Chains A and B, each alone.
Chain A
Amino acid sequence: MGCSSSVPARSTGGLNTVSNDSSSATDSKDLRAKLVLLGDSGVGKSCIVLRFVRGQFDPTSKVTVGASFLSQTLALEDSTIVKFEIWDTAGQERYAALAPLYYRGAAAAIVVYDITSPESFSKAQYWVKELQKHGSPGIVMVLVGNKADLHENRSVSSQDALEYADKNNMFFIETSAKTADNINQLFEVCFEYIELFVFKQHIRGEANLAEDKT
């Protein structure tokens, strides 16, 4: 399939974007995590969410206006239940001014581009910069190259994306909403990162756990 992923070293501390309801919620291993998807128009943000939440792929899914909201609960191996609250934003630049409303308070931002579109990769980099400037200091960022099933039309190499992700302390993964490749993995990994950087730190006041992982 050609989907690749990487876990870059990460040494950011100071994660305070707490998305679990309260400490009691964390005690019972019942967590909530707010995620936001950002990226250029037509890269497949809504399709990724729909694939994850409903297990469906609809190439004609409606244009997102402003943002849409979906949630999905995921049971992890250690019997933790995570409820993802996912904000799927509109891709057009004109709506970019609204994005802070959605990424404000998000535990993780999933920045999506289309592996067949270099423009969308540039746009992804714009979003990363935007998040670095205006996002919550501890927001977990994931770079996603979608439409991996169209590898014959690939114009953004995995290597370039990986390097960019490494440089910016992001997790990188290639997905295909169409074939469902790596979609669940994306959200699982998102959660792992949130857990590392947000929940655990919140509970035990620990920081710099990234090294454990990597």
Chain B
Amino acid sequence: MWAWGCVERVAAGLLGGPLAGGGRWNTAVAVGVTAAAGLAVVAIVVSSRRGGLKSPWCRRRRKAPLTAQEWRALFTPDGKLQDGGVKLLKKVRSGGIEPSIRALVWPFLLGVYNLDSSEVERDAVKAQNRKGYLLLRKHCLRKSAYTMEESKQSTNKTAGVNPKGSISSEKGEESGCVTPVESKEVPENPSVEEATSTEEEKPCLSTEQELQDDTSEPKPEQMEVNQSSSTSSNEEESERSDVTHVEASHKDSASVCESKLEDEQESIPRYSNTGGNMDDIELSKAARPVKSARAIEDFETCQRIIRLDAVRANDEWVSYFPSQTSVSREKAIEYAKAVCLKDYEHLEPNRIHHASRLVAILEAYAIYDQEIGYCQGMSDLLAPLLAVLEEDDEAFWCFAGFMRKARHNFRLDEVGIRRQLNMVARIIKYKDFHLYRHLEMLQAEDCFFVYRMVVVMFRRELTFEQTLCLWEVMWADQAANRAGIANSPWRRMRLGAPPTDDLLLYAIAASVLQKRKLIIESYSSMDEIIRECNSMAGQLDIWKLLDDAHDLVVTLHNRIE
């Protein structure tokens, strides 16, 4: 298969030019090639402007990403995806998404919107989500009053301003949307049907009481799908899009802060494990309740570490999103003050802006999912989302969708990460026993050396654009499983690989298997393998990796999963 791969890989290699989808490449020649089973497949030879890579004959072909035109054509007149999203997922699984439409497609992949939702339903969800995010931000600020004395004043002045300067304005006090929403939940997928409805109107407890909440008690993910508020939501939508600058949001956010207790009666959205995620179900037994005293202490620690991490976030996205880089220094500083960012003076305005957004969303997430709070590495997962999604509320809910699976990697009890490392080990064991034996000899069969890859999902090993491609393919797999369409014929995929929740782990195993010779012949300690893994940055060909991963899925998923 390696030999075949070499010829077939020709084209694509390149992971797509960042902005215009395939825009950076030119299709030149077509070459026939065969794949493993001896079947004829066609590969397209592409020449690319990106120099410095190995022979083009060693690059694997990437299938064309989903284009804007194809995306639009997927919808019925009432704004529903045809065939429940199967076609969408097929396309994304095989070739990713054109950069210009990522912000539109990701919320579907990440479960923010149901694959079979109508436009009206999505508008309602969007409005509800915005409100939920605002509540979380307000809650963050209230808790900040306990824990961040020195910055209390500026916090109260500027409140939950988001970097786009819009979130805190959305509320429009006059719209009265602070009142609890009577709603009938539309389940995200069939498996959640019963679970999502009952507690929607449960009044919000006071802050102190909330802190004593045992997160093991499932609460509905009430923000996910909500039909009821559709009439008001359109108004909110237009109202909100008008407000784009900081001054306006400052005014509003100040009033938000002053509107005190009535808001506290409203339910703050919280993570609940009713999303049907297999990991949740498997791992929930080990869940530990969060005790109140520790929750307070933890939030304070979270706040401190979030700020530390936000100002040192990777800035690779900057060159991909010039539109987000035009923030003036003044505004950037206002954003920073609004979230009490510290030690940012050395940063460019766009990075200050980005760091402030990271703080706002990560802090909100720490409230939303108290069991996890904040763990280093989460900022690596959020930063690419922020670059693509310009609205904080949308970015937050996409992040929450992303975290439904990823959160297990960050659990204190390490159950999730161990399960994943173990799965990588089993993939390697079944695929290449010789390599596995070598790992055993080095006492590295626990695959601890791929720890970082699992936790930040290849973010440190891949370029920004490569990361987005890998993630969206992975999300499409997970979305297919969530929506229960895993059994559709997946002919587009290499050898018809079925979708898996753990594509990442197959990809990680594939990246280790690509180094098997080196590991077996040259490495005599786990330290050396960790070093090798930590230095893969910039060397991986994402589509080759995905092809290898899909091969592994085809041959092993029945034994592994």
Contacts and interface: CB of A to CB of B under 8 A. Distances in A.
Contact of B412 (A68, A69, A94): A94
A24 interface: no
Contacts of A69: 527, 530-531, 534
B534 A92 contact: no
Contacts of B456: 65
Contacts of A62: 312, 314, 460
Interface residues of A, number: 24
A152 B47 CA distance: 57
Nearest to A94: B375
Given A63-B377, A65-B377, A94-B375, 4 more contacts: A63-B376, A63-B380, A65-B460, A101-B448
Interface string B297-320: 000010011001101111100000
Interface residues of B, number: 31
B12 interface: no
Interface string A49-61: 0000000000111
A92 B315 CA distance: 22
27 contacts: A41-B304, A41-B305, A41-B308, A41-B309, A42-B308, A60-B311, A60-B312, A60-B313, A60-B315, A60-B347, A61-B312, A62-B312, A62-B314, A63-B379, A64-B376, A65-B452, A65-B460, A66-B452, A67-B530, A85-B527, A92-B375, A92-B376, A93-B301, A94-B375, A94-B376, A94-B410, A98-B451
Contacts of B312: 59-63
Nearest to A58: B312
Contacts of A93: 301
A190 interface: no
B455 interface: yes
Residue of A60, A64, A66, A95 with most chain B CB atoms under a 10 A cut-off: A66
B296 to A, nearest CB: 16
Contacts of A144: none
B414 interface: yes
Contacts of A67: 530
Tell me if A's interface is mostly helix, strand, loop or mixed: loop
Q: Which 7 A-B pairs have the closest CB atoms?
A: A42-B308, A65-B377, A92-B376, A66-B451, A60-B312, A66-B452, A63-B309
A61 to B, nearest CB: 6
B530 A41 contact: no
A66 B308 contact: no
A68 B309 contact: no
Contacts of B375: 92, 94
Contacts of B311: 60
Contact of B376 (A34, A60, A61, A90): A90
B346 interface: yes
Contacts of B346: 59-60
B300 to A, nearest CB: 10
A69 B305 CA distance: 22
A64 B414 CA distance: 18
B248 to A, nearest CB: 31
A48 B375 CA distance: 23
B322 to A, nearest CB: 20
A64 B375 CA distance: 11
Nearest to A47: B312
B222 to A, nearest CB: 28
A63 B309 CA distance: 6
A66 B410 CA distance: 11
Interface string A92-135: 11110110010000000000000000000000000000000000
A65 B448 contact: no
Nearest to B374: A92
B466 to A, nearest CB: 17
Nearest to A59: B346
A66 B451 CA distance: 7
B249 to A, nearest CB: 27
Contacts of B314: 62
Nearest to A34: B527
A65 B380 contact: yes
Interface string B377-388: 101100000000
Interface in A14-54: 34, 41-42
Contacts of A60: 311-313, 315, 346-347, 351
A41 B375 CA distance: 11
A196 B172 CA distance: 70
Contact of B455 (A42, A65, A68, A101): A65
B379 A68 contact: no
Contacts of A66: 451-452, 455
A45 to B, nearest CB: 12
Nearest to B307: A42
Interface string B274-305: 00000000000000000000000000010011
A97 B451 CA distance: 13
Interface string B448-472: 1001100110001000000000000
A95 B376 contact: yes
Residue of A60, A91, A95 with most chain B CB atoms under a 10 A cut-off: A60
A107 B511 CA distance: 31
B200 to A, nearest CB: 32
Contacts of B301: 93
Nearest to A95: B376
A68 B460 CA distance: 11
A136 B246 CA distance: 55
Contacts of A63: 308-309, 312-313, 376-377, 379-380
A73 B121 CA distance: 62
Interface in A74-101: 85, 90-95, 97-98, 101
B380 to A, nearest CB: 7
A191 B112 CA distance: 54
A91 to B, nearest CB: 8
Contact of A42 (B305, B351, B527): B305
A101 B137 CA distance: 38
Interface in B428-483: 448, 451-452, 455-456, 460
A113 B347 CA distance: 24
Contacts of B313: 60, 63
Given A42-B305, A60-B311, A92-B376, A97 B531 contact: no
